[in-house]
Structures are given as structure tokens and as C-alpha cells.
Structure 1
Amino acid sequence: MQTLIFRTAAPFLTGLMLMFSVFVMLRGHNEPGGGFTGGLIAASAFAIHGIAFGVPAVRRALYFHPMAVAGFGLFLAAIAGLPSLLFGVPFLTGLWASPSLLGVSVDLSTVMFFDIGVYFVVVGSFTSIALALEDREHD
């Protein structure tokens, strides 16, 4: 779809969808959402960008290969389970800490790091699929 209106609106829509996907991902372990839902929204944003500007533009915007992003997410999700083994509880058991940073208590959990890993896996794999389909369509 190469209309002027779509090509003008696509960058704004992509940016808005990426910000919303991060919001959905970060609120996911307390309320509905999470890494999977946020990742689907981000992959949809990249698909819209690809429809408007083509596959090479999306590959430049991502900087890393989509499967490398998915691999990093899988690594991060697996690493999120290791602290539970150090504390002698089953793998991927959620652990929480509240360190103080500049006088403000910051709540961190292994669940949040797992959600971030899932987010990257979904973004990388679904973006890779969308780019392959879009590239194949133009051949």
C-alpha cells in the first residue's frame, strides 16, 4: 500500500504502537498484558512499517536481525530462572527484591525479566515471519 496518507501516518503509528507495547509488557505481571501481548503489538508495528516502506526499511529500523532479537529474548528468559536455583527453589520460581536507588525503592523481580525475554522472543520471531511473508509477496 503506497498511498501518501499511509506513508505519512505509518511512522507516527509505528512509534505509538511501540510505546504502547512497552507499556503493555511492563504492566503485564500485575494486570492483563505481558511479554506476549506486548510483543505482538510491537511486531504489528513493524509489519505496518514494512507495508508502508518495504522490508529493507524495517531491517534498517531493527538494526539487529529479528532472529537474533528472538535468541536474545530466549537467553534472557532462561537467565531469569537461574536466581531461583541459587536460592534452592524450583527453576523459574519468582523472586522479588526492592533495592533503594537514590532514596526511591525500586521493585524488581525475576518475573519481569522473564516477561522482557518473552517480549523479545515474540518481537523477533513474529517480525521475522512478517518480513519473510512481505519479502516473498514482492518476488
Structure 2
Amino acid sequence: MRSLIFRTAAPYLTALMLLFSVFVLLRGHNEPGGGFIGGLIAASAFAIHGIAYGVPTVRRALHFHPMAISGFGLLLAAFSGLVSCAFGVPFLTGLWISPAILGVTVDLSTVMLFDIGVYFVVVGSITSIALALEDREEG
């Protein structure tokens, strides 16, 4: 689709969708959202950008191959489970710390690390599929 209106709106829509995907990711387990849904929204944003400008533009924007992003997410999710084993609790048990950063207490957890890993796995794999389908359609 090479519509002028779509090509003009696509960058704004992509940026808005990526921002919303991070918002959904950070909502996490307490409310609807998390890594899977956030990753699907981000992959949809890259697909829209690919439809508007072509696959090479999206590949340049990602800086990494989508499957490398997926592999990094899998490594991050596995690492979050291994952290709990290091503390002598079962695999994927949620652990929390509350450090003070610049005088503000911030709650960090292995659960959030796992969600971020799932986010990257979904973004990488679904974006890879979408780019392959778009590239096949163009070529």
C-alpha cells in the first residue's frame, strides 16, 4: 500500500503504538497487560511501518535481526528463572528488591524481568514472520 495518507500517518502511528506497547508491558501482572500483549502491539507497529515504507526500512530501524531480538528475550526470561534458583527457591519464583534510586524507592522483580523477556521474544518472532511475509509479497 503506497497511499500518501498512509505513508504520512504511519510514523506517528508506529511511534504511538510502540509507546502504548511499553505502557501495556509495564502494567504487568497487577492489571491486564504484560509482555505478550505488549509484544504483539509492538510487532504490529513494525508491520504497519513495513507496509507503509517497505521491509528494508524496518530492518534498518530495528538495528538487529528480529530473531536475535527473540533470542535475547529468551535468554532474559531464562535468566530471570535462574536467579531464583541461585537463592535456593524453585525455578521462576518471583523475587523482589526495593533499592533507593535518587531518594526514591523503586520495586524491581524477576517477574518484570521475565515479562520483558517475553516481550522481546514476541516482538522478535512476530516481526520476523511479518517481515518475511511482506518481503515475499513485494518480491
TM-score (norm 1): 0.98
Q: Distance in 2 between matches of 1:83 and 1:70?
A: 20
Residue of structure 1 in register with 2:111 after alignment: 111
Q: Distance in 2 between matches of 1:95 and 1:138?
A: 47
Asked if 1:70 is matched to 2:64, the reply is: no
**5+ residue gaps in structure 2?**
none
Q: Distance in 2 between matches of 1:113 and 1:83?
A: 10
**5+ residue gaps in structure 1?**
none
Q: Distance in 2 between matches of 1:64 and 1:29?
A: 28
Q: Distance in 2 between matches of 1:9 and 1:40?
A: 20
Residue of structure 1 in register with 2:125 after alignment: 125
Aligned-residue CA RMSD in angstroms? 0.6
Q: Distance in 2 between matches of 1:112 and 1:29?
A: 9
Q: Cα distance, 1:83 vs. partner?
A: 1.7
Name the amino acid aligned to 1:24. Answer: V
Alignment of 1:1-139 (within 5 A): 1-139=1-139
Name the amino acid aligned to 1:3. Answer: S
Structure 1 stretch displaced more, 38-47 or 77-86: 77-86
Q: Cα distance, 1:103 vs. partner?
A: 1.1
Tell me which stretches of 4 or more aligned residues in structure 1 moved more than 4 Å.
none
Q: Distance in 1 between matches of 2:82 and 2:11?
A: 39
Name the amino acid aligned to 1:31. Answer: E
Identity score, percent = 81
Q: Cα distance, 1:54 vs. partner?
A: 0.3
Q: Distance in 2 between matches of 1:72 and 1:64?
A: 11
